[in-house]
Amino acid sequence: MIPAAFDYVAPTSLDDALAALAEAGDDAKVLAGGQSLLPILRMRLNAPEKVVDLGRIEALRGVRDGGDHVAIGAMTPYAEVVGDALVREHAGLLAKAVETVADPQIRHRGTVGGALVHADPAGDVGAPVLALDATMVVVGPGGERTVPAAEFFRDLFETAVDDGELLTEIRIPKHTGWGSAYEKFVRVSHQWSIVAVAATVRVEGGSIAEARVGLTNMGSTPLRATAVEQALVGSSASGLADACAAAAEGTNPPSDLNGDADYRRHLATVLTRRAVQKAMEG
Amino acid sequence: MTRITVTVDGASYTDEVEPRMLLVHYLREVVGKVGTVVGCDTSNCGACTVHLDGRSVKSCNVLAVQADGREVTTIEGLATNGELHPMQAAFHENHALQCGYCTPGMIMQAVDLLNENPNPTEDEIRQGMEGNLCRCTGYHNIVKAVAAAAGASERSDA
C-alpha cells in the first residue's frame, strides 16, 4: 500500500512549521512519529496535499524539569518517555501507560504529542495525562496558549488543537511519591486497549488520601472516573471493590468485535479495582 | 521529488525520491537491499524491521525522506567479513526459522533487544519480540535463539 502523492516539508524551527501550516491551510497534515498517520495515508483514509514533518525540530524533543511539573516535548518518542528518570519519579503513571503502547519498534518512533493530538480513544496516553491533570501548551499564529487536559479532548479524533496550531509541550504536575498502575486489557499482546484504566494514588497511613483515575476506550475521549476518585478517599486496600463499582458511571463505551458496551462497563470496574490495588502497592 | 542522502549498511546513497515512498521500498527497490522484506504492509508483523540511527523501526511505517541524513542498518549489514553476526548464528544453530520470511525482522529486533537489555529473561524476550509475528508459529526456537545469543555475548565479554 502506497500513500497518495503529497508535497513534503521538514522545517527545522517551530516558526517555519507554523508558516508551512498557515500556507497549506486545510490541506495539510502534521507528521509527528507517523505511527498512526502513515497507516492512515497508506490505506488512503486521508490524502493531504501537504505533509509537514516535525521530526527535524530538535526543540520539540526531550524532557525537562519545570520545577513543580515535568515538561515533555511533544515530539519525544514513547521509548524516551518510558526510560526518562524525571518521568519515572514524578509521573510514574505516564511511564507505565506508555510502556504498554503497541510494540518496541512503534515506541521508538511514535511520540506522546502525536498520540495526544491524534486522540484515538483506545490510545494509552490520554487517560494518564488526563488523570495527572496535565497542562498542554499549544502554539499557533496568534502565539502560545495553555489548555488543561480536562478541556483538551473534544471528541473522537478531535482536540483543542485547531487547524494551523501545534501541540508543543505537555506539563505534568509532579506526583512525587504517588503509587501508580496502568491496567490494560487486550487479547493479543500489541493490540489497542479494549479497555484500560490509569490509576495513581497517594497513600497515608495505609489508606488513600488522594486518587486519580483515567479510563481508556470507555467513550469517544479519554475520561476521568471522578465518582471513583471521591469514593476512594479514606479507603484501605480491603475496601476497594465498593469504591470502584462506580467506574463506568457516565461513560459511553463502544460496542465492537472485542466486546459490547456492557462488557466494557463491567471490565472498567474490575480493571479499576486492580489498578488501584496495584497503585497502593507502589 | 526530494533529494535524500542515507547511509545504508555503511555506504552512503544519494537519490531523488517521491516523498510518499516508504523506507522499505527505498531499501528494496532503489538501494537493492532485498534482504529486508515487506510482510503485512500494515505495520503489524515486523518483517520489515531495520535499525534507524541504531534503534529498531518498522520500515513500512517510515518515509524514505524521514531517513534523510540518518543511518540505516538492514539484515544485510549485520555479517562482517563473511562471518555471521552472533544473532544470525544463534538463529541458524537453534533452528529458529521455518519458512524464513519473518527472520530478517526477527533478527533485527532481537539485536535491538540485546543492545537495550543484554541479559533478558525468557519473559523479557517474549515481550521484546511482541512486534514481530511468525506465521509458522515457530516462536519457541526463536526465543531459544535470542537467549542463546545473549548467553554467547555474555561468555565472550567474560
Q: Return mean pLDDT, chain A.
A: 97
Mean pLDDT across A110-114: 98
- Nearest Cα residue in chain B from A38: B61
Asked whether A237 and A205 are in contact (CB, 8 A), the reply is no
Residue A235's pLDDT band, with cuts at 50, 70 and 90, is: very high
d(CA A145, CA B85): 51
The whole domain housing A42 covers 7-54
pLDDT score, position A209 = 98
In a domain, residue A233? The reply is yes
pLDDT score, position B77 = 98
Q: Show the low-confidence residues of chain B (pLDDT under 50).
A: 157-158
pLDDT score, position B14 = 98
- Which runs of E-coded beta strand occur in chain A? 7-9, 28-31, 50-53, 63-65, 69-73, 135-140, 143-148, 153-155, 158-159, 166-173, 179-185, 195-204, 207-216, 223-224
Asked whether A203 and A195 are in contact (CB, 8 A), the reply is no
Shortest alpha-carbon distance between residue A121 and chain B (Å): 20
Fold of B86-157: DNA polymerase; domain 1 (1.10.150)
- Please state the ipTM of this predicted complex: 0.95
Q: How many domains are there within chain A?
A: 3
pLDDT score, position B37 = 98
List for chain B the helix, strand, coil content (%; round to 5): 40, 20, 40
Mean pLDDT across A80-96: 98
pTM as predicted: 0.96
Mean pLDDT across A236-262: 95
pLDDT score, position A1 = 83
Size of interface A-B (CB pairs under 8 A): 83
- pLDDT per residue over B112-144, tens digit each? 999 999 999 999 999 999 999 999 999 999 999
- Nearest Cα residue in chain A from B64: A8
* Residue of A35, A55, A105 lying closest to B56 (CB–CB): A105
- Nearest Cα residue in chain B from A41: B20
Tell me where in chain B the CATH 1.10.150.120 domain(s) lie: 86-157
Q: Cell 472485542, residue?
A: A258
The CATH number that applies at residue A19 is 3.30.43.10
Q: What's chain B's Rg over C-alpha atoms?
A: 16
pLDDT score, position A271 = 98
The SS3 assignment for B53 reads coil
Residues of B whose CB is below 8 A from A51: 19
**Level-2 CATH architecture, domain B2-77:** Roll (3.10)
pLDDT score, position A269 = 97
pLDDT score, position B153 = 64
- DSSP secondary structure letter of residue A91: -
pLDDT score, position B154 = 59
